[in-house]
Amino acid sequence: MNYPKPLSKKTLERRYREAGIDEVKSQFLHKLFLAAANLYGVISLRDLWKVCREVKEQYGVDDIRRKDLIAFSSLVRREEVPYYVFELDEIYLQEKRADLDREIVAQGLIGSGFGKWNRYYRLVDEQADKSYCLPEDLLAFAEPVPLPEETRLLEFLSGLEVTATHSETPFGRSVECEHVGKKLGQFSFRNWMEQLDYRYHEKKAEENPARNGSKLAELEAWTGGSEAEKIVRHYCESCKLGFITPMSSIEDVISELYEVGVRLTKEQLESLVGLLIQLNNRSHLWCNRGWKPEALTVDSLKQYEERFR
């Protein structure tokens, strides 16, 4: 089942008027849906209505009704926005659609081709039975800014220098370090597995006879920017999804640094681990339905620090 195509601006304006959604309501609902996608990753319309009831007075839109939310969810499906609003039978083929069962899903969760829903299904499992976080200013998540911890991690990684001439992949294959003498903020890099993926979808592998443009675009976005930016992006994504433990996410960062040719001193390793732990613990994570890990357990930071002593 294909997702509906966007409508023209003129048609959308007419339909919003017909639905009784004026400019004030429209602005609030656009921010609400985008903030929910950014904070939770996935949320049903039924649960979003519960969230909306908690915050609508705060933002001066007391007259928002459930029927407005339902009408808006139907219309915003036909706009170009960085999230999806799926009908239930578009996700689970055997289910019957119902207005309040629609799901707001962050765009980055849905891939292309075979397995496009895997990340969505896994995240829904991770979120099961957890309550939704309600921050003081929910709508601020419609335009999130990097955390200070993320900025500090990026600055630290950008200053690390490649010193090794040869390295090994996680599978023991010897590789030449192409960026000796450069800092991680000065070049882009695809590790061995990313290169394999790229060659496969670029039709440079015998077992894959067709070039996969959509998958290549995903890989470009996934591996783009400087190596420091890529590492931060991958780590933040790993934390948000929660598919692997925080320890494994940290180990993946260290493994990537080793493959690119960075050899950390003891002091650098301690600083890096501390920065990674702080960023994870102070981030609003999709797998926790927006909760920060430090808000869920006060002992987590101590446990991570003891693990890396």
Q: What value does the mean pLDDT take over residues 236-262?
A: 95
Annotate the chain with three-state secondary structure. Answer: CCCCCCCCHHHHHHHHHHCCCCHHHHHHHHHHHHHHHHHHCEEEHHHHHHHHHHHCCCCCCCCCCHHHHHHHHHHHCCCCCCEEEECHHHHCCCCCCCHHHCEEEEHHHCCCCCCCCHHHHHHHHHHCCCCCCCCCCHHHHHCCCCCHHHHHHHHHHHCCECCCCEEECCCCCEEECCCCCCECCCCCCCCHHHHHHHHHHCCCECCECCCCHHHHHHHHHHHCCCHHHHHHHHHHHHHHHCCCCHHHHHHHHHHHHHHHCCCCCHHHHHHHHHHHHHHHHCCCCHHHCCCCHHHHCCCHHHHHHHHCC
Average pLDDT, the chain: 90
Residue 231 one-letter amino acid: I
Rounded mean pLDDT, 122-140: 94
pLDDT at 296: 82
Directed axis angle between helix 66-76 and helix 45-55, to 10°?
130
Q: What's the residue count for the chain?
A: 309
What is the Cα–Cα distance from 50 to 66, expressed in whole angstroms? 10
What is the predicted pLDDT for the residue at 305? 44
Q: What is the pLDDT of residue 99?
A: 96
At position 172, the amino acid (one-letter code) is: G
Q: Does residue 112 carry a pLDDT above 80? A: no
- At residue 48's C-alpha, the angle toward residues 129 and 243, to 5°, is 40
pTM here is 0.87
Average pLDDT (98-115) is 91
Tell me: the pLDDT tens digits for 294-306? 888 644 434 444 4
pLDDT at 121 over 90: yes
CA pair distance 181, 190, nearest whole angstrom: 18
pLDDT of res. 193: 80
The amino acid occupying position 8 is S
Q: What are 309's two structure tokens?
A: 């002593």
The predicted-structure confidence for 2-19, as pLDDT tens digits, reads as follows 899 999 999 999 999 999
Residue 126 vs residues 42, 103, 131, 242: alpha-carbon distances, Å: 11, 16, 12, 7
Please give the residue that has the higher pLDDT: either 43 or 224: 43
Using CA atoms, how far apart are residues 101 and 99, in angstroms rounded to an integer?
A: 5
Contact 150, 232 (CB under 8 A): yes
Confidence of residue 212 (pLDDT cuts 50, 70, 90): low
pLDDT in tens, 145-196: 999 999 999 999 999 999 999 998 888 888 899 999 999 999 999 988 888 7
Indicate if the pLDDT at residue 215 is higher than 90: no
The answer to whether residue 52 scores a pLDDT higher than 90 is: yes
- Domains of the chain: which residue ranges? 9-142, 148-188+224-307
Q: What is the radius of gyration, based on Cα positions, of the chain?
A: 22
> What is the average per-residue pLDDT within 263-276?
97
Residue 211 has pLDDT above 80, yes or no: no
Quote the tokens at residue 201.
């979808």
